[in-house]
Structures are given as structure tokens and as C-alpha cells.
Amino acid sequence: MVDSSKRAAHASALFVLWFLAGCSTIPPAVSNYGAAPSSLELVDTPFYSQQQFQCGPAALMTVLTASGVATTLDAVSRQVFLPARQGSLQSEMLAASRAAERVPYVLAPKLSSITAELATGRPVLVLQNLGVSWAPRWHYAVVVGADAENGTIILRSGTDARRVMRTAVFLRTWKRSNFWAISILRPGELPADPDRGRYIEAVAGLEQTGHVQAAREAWQAGLQQWPNDAVLLFGMANAEYALGNFSAAERLFLAMLRNDEAPLIARNNLAMTLAAQGRNEDALKEIDAALNLATDPMLVDELLDTQSIILSARTGASN
């Protein structure tokens, strides 16, 4: 009886701490899980203490500052804090990183991808669920170190400048977010353990949201890692086009089309690139060639769309 009430008192004390702590809190005890990483700590990583519910802005501010972005906690909060939800959404964390001209690279779901980033000097932003699935406590924090000897992970977390967490506990809380972690890359930097698909997704997002110069540098770095990759060539060519470097774009699209397996939509963009240089007849030939091969109705639509744009440009030019 004494034993059980002591246990209950212990549980309620833990709970009260958990309830009061806002974004940062004490996670439940867990069993041993996962392997210990190697030891290192990025002691120079800045720390921004969070306001209530504002672990998202504080964590993002930490990794952006570590990546050389000059901003303020207020400005970051205005980009990622969602008042009615008292928190920050993952897609907004990615979007705000793009707004800062950085590449938000979503890491592969394993501890070694975090420690590999730490080894290159980049802290890693993680999403944890400090509660349980039916009573979630979603929390953003920044991993700045790992201590293999003691089996701990070191974080900038909430109002805690140096939070030391048992690796097993960290893994358990991180697992509940499906191991969501991002590294903030400067355009031109590659991840420590680069995964082609993840990298392309990150840079394509930057391109699509209009950060063309940053995307160009990132595609270029990607081509160092994966030379002649069709998607990277396409991305690089699109960036050159968007920057008005049409002859560079043309060379890249042609390089891509030298491969017989190159996607037909490269020909659509090549046509646009030729038209941008006033070579409307050449452009229309590319469209005709692509229309002869295209089977996908959406692609045919796109090609016809491009064709009509070029035809009206030609009419305009001859008037």
C-alpha cells in the first residue's frame, strides 16, 4: 500500500511537471532502444529560449542562425507560429527555411544521419512527441551533440540551453514523429550522407517557391555528387532559364536529351528556351517532335499550351 501510493505520488509529481512545462517537458521513461552514436558536441550553437508554445520559432531560429542567417526570433515567429494551434506546422518550418534562402533537407530516419550532420558542424532540428500517441506533446528541439560514452543526446530544447537526454529516451520521443529531422543547408552545401531523392525534393521546393539563385547553386552542388543526373540537369537548366541565362539553359537541356531515356518534358522546356532567344521555328520543331512521341494526355496538354504560346509570340514578332 505504502509502495503503491508512493508510486502514485511520484507519477503525479511527474505529471504536474509535464503539464506545467509548456513546450519542454520530462518524457516518460522508456526501455533501451537503438545504438549509441559517436561523441561530439557543437558547443558554439546559439541558444534562444522559447516563449510559451514557441518551441518552433526558437528551434528554427537556432538552426538558421547556426547556418549564418541574420534574423530575429520575432521575425521567425511571424513566419511559423500558428496562434490558434499554439504551435508550428512542419511545412511552415520548411517554408520559413526557404524564405531564408536555405535548403531544408529532411534527413533519413536514423540516428546516424543526425550524428553525420553534427560531424560536419550542422545542428539538426527535430520534432519529438514527448507525450504518448493518445496524449501527444509535440515539441521542436535542436540536437547539438551526442555522447556515446554516457549514452546521451544533447539538445537546445525549450527553455533549456543544454538539455541532456538519454539516447534511448530521445529515440523513443523522436520515433513518435516518424523520425522527422531537418538540416539547414547553405545553397551549395551537400548533406553529410546525401540521398538523391531527398536532396532533389529539397531543392525542387526551393525552385518552386521562387528562390532561383539559391536553387541554382544547390543543383550545381548536386551535380558534383551525381554527375549527369537527368533531374539535376533539368533543375539546373530551369534555374538558368529563370535567371535569363538562356544559352546555358539550352546547353543543359540538350545534354539531358542526349540520353534516349530523357523525359519528354525536357523538350517542352527546351522549346521555351529556344523561343526565349527568338528562335521560334526551332522551338516549334521541338514541340512537334515531342507531340509525335507523347502519350500522356497531361503532357500533350502542356505541349499544346507551349505551342500556342510560341505561335502567338511568332505572330507578335512578325507584326
Partner 1 sequence: MHSSMLRNFVLRLVSLSLLSLGFAHTSGAAMISTQQLVQSEARDASLTRVDAILARDDVARQLVAFGVDPQAVQLRVGNMTDTELLALEGKLDKQVAGGSAVGIIGAVFLVLIILEVVGITDIFKKV
Candidates 76, 94, 106, 214; binder of partner 1 (CB under 8 A) is: 94
Map the footprint of partner 1 across residues 267-296, applying CB under 8 A. 268-269, 272, 276, 296
Q: Which residues pair with 164 in a beta bridge?
A: 154
Our CB check for partner 1 shows the closer of 121 and 210 to be: 210
Our CB check for partner 1 shows the closer of 24 and 45 to be: 24
Considering the rule CB under 8 A, would residue 87 count as an interface residue with partner 1?
yes
Q: How far is the CB of 166 from partner 1 (least distance, A)?
A: 18
Is the separation of the CB atoms in 99 and 64 below 8 Å?
A: no
Q: Which candidate, 239, 200, 232, 199, places its Cα nearest to that of 216?
A: 239
- Give the binding-site size for partner 1 (rule: CB under 8 A): 78
Our CB check for partner 1 shows the closer of 38 and 91 to be: 91
Our CB check for partner 1 shows the closer of 85 and 150 to be: 85
Considering the rule CB under 8 A, would residue 238 count as an interface residue with partner 1?
yes
From residue 97, alpha-carbon distances to 57, 100, 174, 242 in Å are 11, 5, 21, 21
Considering the rule CB under 8 A, would residue 167 count as an interface residue with partner 1?
no
Map the footprint of partner 1 across residues 199-218, applying CB under 8 A. 200-201, 203-205, 207-210, 212
Q: Which part of the chain contacts partner 1 (CB under 8 A), choosing from 115-123, 166-174, 183-191, 198-206? A: 198-206
Q: How far is the CB of 113 from partner 1 (least distance, A)?
A: 20
* Range 282-310 burial, b when 16+ CB lie within 10 A, else e: bbbebbebbbeebeeeebeebbeebbeeb
Considering the rule CB under 8 A, would residue 137 count as an interface residue with partner 1?
yes
Candidates 62, 69, 139, 143; binder of partner 1 (CB under 8 A) is: 139
The Cα 184–Cα 65 span in angstroms is 10
State the pairing for strand pair 152-157/160-166.
Answer: antiparallel
Considering the rule CB under 8 A, would residue 64 count as an interface residue with partner 1?
no
The Cα 43–Cα 155 span in angstroms is 10
Q: How far is the CB of 269 from partner 1 (least distance, A)?
A: 6
Query: Hey, what's the cell of 299?
Result: 503532357
Query: Hey, what's the cell of 125?
Result: 532540428
Considering the rule CB under 8 A, would residue 53 count as an interface residue with partner 1?
yes
Q: How far is the CB of 110 from partner 1 (least distance, A)?
A: 20
Query: Hey, what's the cell of 172?
Result: 523513443
What is residue 281's DSSP assignment?
Answer: H
Q: How far is the CB of 213 from partner 1 (least distance, A)?
A: 12
The cell 513566419 sits on which residue? Answer: 79
